[in-house]
Structure 1
């Protein structure tokens, strides 16, 4: 199977099943006759823009983005439901999120505030936003707090 076909199959699986882990996704792919490695699946998920989102049952499942700015999930994604906490130190904001959601939030922050950000670093469950000034950081904190 070609890469683009595999990516389309992953999208189809994510949209039709409540997939919580990469291992579950691998199991679905095996049922389709594919045996990709976990590393391949991880790269594919990153390329597609897959993120963890709250499901109707309260669990966190994978949702996907077709254009990396519009997330398609089984129910609407609420930013306030993924932010755990925010703190500010001088010109920096530290944002804790539910694991697996930092890429989604990073894309959203960059699309809203790109001209006000010096740097934005994300790992699995947190983001570090560096603003050019303390005043800018305070203004960003205020605007992001309105989301929660």
Structure 2
């Protein structure tokens, strides 16, 4: 199977099944006759734009990012994925810590780097948070203001 066909199959499986781990996806693919490594699956998922999203029961499952769904013509909920932006701390004026919905940090990181590349010194992402270091205090304020406008409020 060619890579393009494999990516389409993975996307189809993610949309049709409630998959919460890469191992579950590997097992489903193996049952479909495709034997892949975890490293290959991880690269493919990143290329497709697969992220963890809240499932109907409150657990997290794999789904397509909002950008990918939008590209494919799906109507999507515009709820931001940012849960909290840390308060300013003395001595750390160029840094911003951001809590995000688990599984969305790589997507948000990519969006921030695309929009604010010239303002960012470094941006580190793990599963549910980001640590952004701006080049200047002013750049930190600009980016912080945008991030704070995207925070999911308790009233929503």
Give the 3-state SS of the residue equivalent to 1:118 in structure 2: strand
1:131 — aligned with what? 134
Structure 2, unmatched stretches of 5+, are 152-156
Q: Distance in 2 between matches of 1:43 and 1:122?
A: 17
Deviations 1:46-85 (A, max 9, x none): 22221112234433221225xxx71328963622xx4343
Q: Distance in 2 between matches of 1:110 and 1:15?
A: 28
TM-score under structure 2 normalisation?
A: 0.77
2:67 — aligned with what? 70
- Alignment RMSD: 2.4
1:94 equivalent to 2:97? Answer yes
Tell me: CA distance 1:71–1:53, structure 2 relative to 1, closer, same or farther (3 Å).
farther
Once the two structures are TM-superposed, the CA of residue 117 in structure 1 deviates from its matched residue by: 2.3
Q: Distance in 2 between matches of 1:98 and 1:15?
A: 19
- Structure number with greater Rg is 2
Number of positions where the alignment pairs a residue of Structure 1 with one of Structure 2: 143
1:147 equivalent to 2:150? Answer yes
